[in-house]
Amino acid sequence: MRFMRLGLTVACLTLASSVTFADDECPKESTCEDDRYSADVRIRYGTIDDNINKSANTLTGRLLLTLRTPQVRNFRAVFAAEHVNDFGIDTYNDGGTNGRIEYATEVDPSGTEMDEAYVEYAGESTLVRYGRQYINHGALPQRYLGTVAWRQNHQTYDALSVDAKFGDKFRLESALVEKVYRVLGRDHPIRGAREWDLDGIAIRASYEWPGFGNLSGYLYNLDFDENIFLSSRTMGFALEGPCFTDASKFGWSGSCKGEIAIQTSIDDGLDFDRLLHIHSSIGVDFSNFRKENSTGSVELKGTLLEGDGRYSFKMPLATLHGYAGAADKFLVNTPPDGLRDLEIRVKERVLGWNVTVGIHRFDTNFRSLPTYGTEVDIAATRTFGKYKWILKFADYHANEEWKPTPYGIDATKLWATVQFSL
C-alpha cells in the first residue's frame, strides 16, 4: 500500500500542477483533448460446457475510462477506471465472487476498479512510470509479464517501470513490482485470489539483429510473500525472425522462432534445482506456393514446460490464455508432470474474416505417461468501421485416463466479442 499511496500522491500533484501550465503545454487544443480522454468498450457473450458443472452462459460488458493530464516538463499523470457488468445474467461461476459454483467457470466478475494511477516521465527515448499500471513485456500474448488482456478485468501492478530505447535497434524494459491486482477482482472474498504481494524484478532486453530478426533476453525474479510455490527465478533467450537470411537462395521464405529458459527456486521451502521451457516454431506463407490472393500461412509449433513429478515450470504473471489452447485446461498451473504442446496452426482470410485454426496435442514430458488430450481452436476477427468483432471456439478432447484431474475431462467453449472506442 505504501507504494500505491506514494504513487497516487505524486500523480495528484502532477494533475494539480498541469492545470496551471495547461496553456503553455497544449497550444493545439484539439490534439490535447484527443489525448487526454479515452473510453473503450468491450461486450462479450460466452457459453461454457466443462462436463462437470451446469453449462454456463455469460454476457458481460467492460468500460474503460482513461484520463491523461497535459505534460508538464515531460511529466504527466494517468488515471484509468474500469467497470465490468454482467447485465444481471449470473448463470456462470465468475471465479468465486458471485457464489454460483454450480455453473462452469468464466473468470469475468462484475465490479469497478482503478486500473491505473501513475505518474509518468516521457523523455526522448525513455519512459518511466511509477504507481499502479499495466505492464506488458513483449507482444500479445505475453509469456511472462502481462495484463491478461483476454479477461474483462485486466491484471495490473503497483510498480516502478522503465522503458528505454538506445538507437533504433536496442530496447531495455525493466520493472520493480510490489503488488499484483489479479483478474478475479477486488471483491473476491479471498485476499490471495484478489492480489499478491511480492518483491519482483523484471528485465527484458531486445535487439533488432539485421538479417536475423529480434533477439531478446530476460530475467524474472519473483519472490512472493505468501505464495512460495510461485516464487522462482527465470532466465532465458529468444530469437524470432526470418528462417533464412537470403530467402532467394532457397526459393521460399518463412518465419522462425527459438526460445529457451531456465527456472530455479529462490525459496528454501522448494527443492527443485532447474526446470526448462523450450519453444520452437516455423511458419511458411502460402505466397510461396500461390502467388495470387495468398494472405495466409501455416505454422508448426512445439513447446515444452518441464515438470519433475512434483514441481513444474510456472508463469504466474503471464497472459496465459494465448498459450496451450484457448480452452484454458492448463492455465492455472503447469501439470507437475510437465506439458508438451505440439500445434499446427493455419491462418487465412476467408470472406473478409481473418481466420485462424489451431490443432493441439498435449503430452507430459515423461514419455511413459499417457497423453493429456487434444484440442481444436478456431478464431475469426473482422473490423466493421470502428467495431472489431472476435469469434472464438475451443474444443478440448480429454484422455479419460487422467480423470479426475482437469486434463482428463472434456470442455467446449464459444465466445462472441465486439469492441470499440467511444
Number of neighbouring beta carbons within 10 Å of residue 92: 26
d(CA 33, CA 16): 17
- Nearest CA-CA partner of 95 in 137, 155, 156: 155
> Percent of the chain beyond pLDDT 90?
79
CA dihedral 360, 149, 83, 40 (to 10 degrees): -120
Confidence class of residue 249 from pLDDT cuts 50, 70 and 90? low
* Pair 395, 375: CB distance under 8 Å: yes
Confidence class of residue 286 from pLDDT cuts 50, 70 and 90? confident
How confident is the model at residue 306, as a pLDDT? 96
- CA 334, 336, 337: angle at the middle one, nearest 5? 105
Report residue 177 CA to chain centroid gap: 17
More confident residue, 331 or 302: 302
Q: What is the mean pLDDT of residues 109-118?
A: 97
Answering whether pTM is above 0.95, one says no
How confident is the model at residue 11, as a pLDDT? 45
pLDDT over threshold 70, residue 2: no
d(CA 26, CA 417): 37
All three cell numbers of 192, joined, read: 490471495
How confident is the model at residue 295, as a pLDDT? 81
Q: Is 371 exposed, middle or buried (0-12, 13-18, 19+ CB in 10 A)?
A: middle
Average pLDDT of the chain? 90
Beta strands (DSSP E) in 269-400 are: 275-285, 297-305, 339-350, 353-363, 373-384, 387-398
- CA 158, 190, 137: angle at the middle one, nearest 5? 30
* Pair 408, 401: CB distance under 8 Å: yes
Cell numbers 514430458 correspond to what residue? 365
pLDDT over threshold 50, residue 182: yes
* Pair 124, 97: CB distance under 8 Å: no
Q: Is 271 exposed, middle or buried (0-12, 13-18, 19+ CB in 10 A)?
A: exposed
Kindly report the CATH number assigned to the domain that includes residue 268.
2.40.160.10
pLDDT over threshold 80, residue 47: yes
d(CA 245, CA 239): 13
How confident is the model at residue 365, as a pLDDT? 92
- CA 85, 86, 92: angle at the middle one, nearest 5? 145
Backbone angles phi, psi at 392, to 5 degrees: -145, 140
- Nearest CA-CA partner of 95 in 332, 382, 287, 393: 332
pLDDT over threshold 70, residue 28: no
Residue 67 neighbours by CB under 8 Å, 6+ apart: 36, 37, 78, 79, 80
d(CA 366, CA 175): 36
How confident is the model at residue 246, as a pLDDT? 62
pLDDT over threshold 60, residue 214: yes
| 3-state secondary structure at position 407 | helix
> Percent of the chain beyond pLDDT 70?
89
Report residue 369 CA to chain centroid gap: 30
How confident is the model at residue 18, as a pLDDT? 41
Beta strands (DSSP E) in 88-230 are: 111-122, 126-133, 156-166, 170-181, 195-209, 213-224
Domain that holds residue 218: 2-421
How confident is the model at residue 251, as a pLDDT? 62
Q: Tell me which range, 138-142, 152-156, 209-213, 243-247, is most confidently predicted by mean pLDDT.
A: 152-156
How confident is the model at residue 383, as a pLDDT? 98
Tens digit of each residue's pLDDT (9 = 90 or more) over 360-395: 999 999 888 999 999 999 999 999 999 999 999 999
Tens digit of each residue's pLDDT (9 = 90 or more) over 157-179: 999 999 999 999 999 999 999 99
Question: How many folded domains does the chain comprise?
Answer: 1
Confidence class of residue 253 from pLDDT cuts 50, 70 and 90? confident
CA dihedral 170, 199, 146, 68 (to 10 degrees): -80
Q: Tell me which range, 35-39, 352-356, 401-405, is most confidently predicted by mean pLDDT.
A: 352-356
pLDDT over threshold 60, residue 8: no
Tens digit of each residue's pLDDT (9 = 90 or more) over 95-105: 999 999 999 99
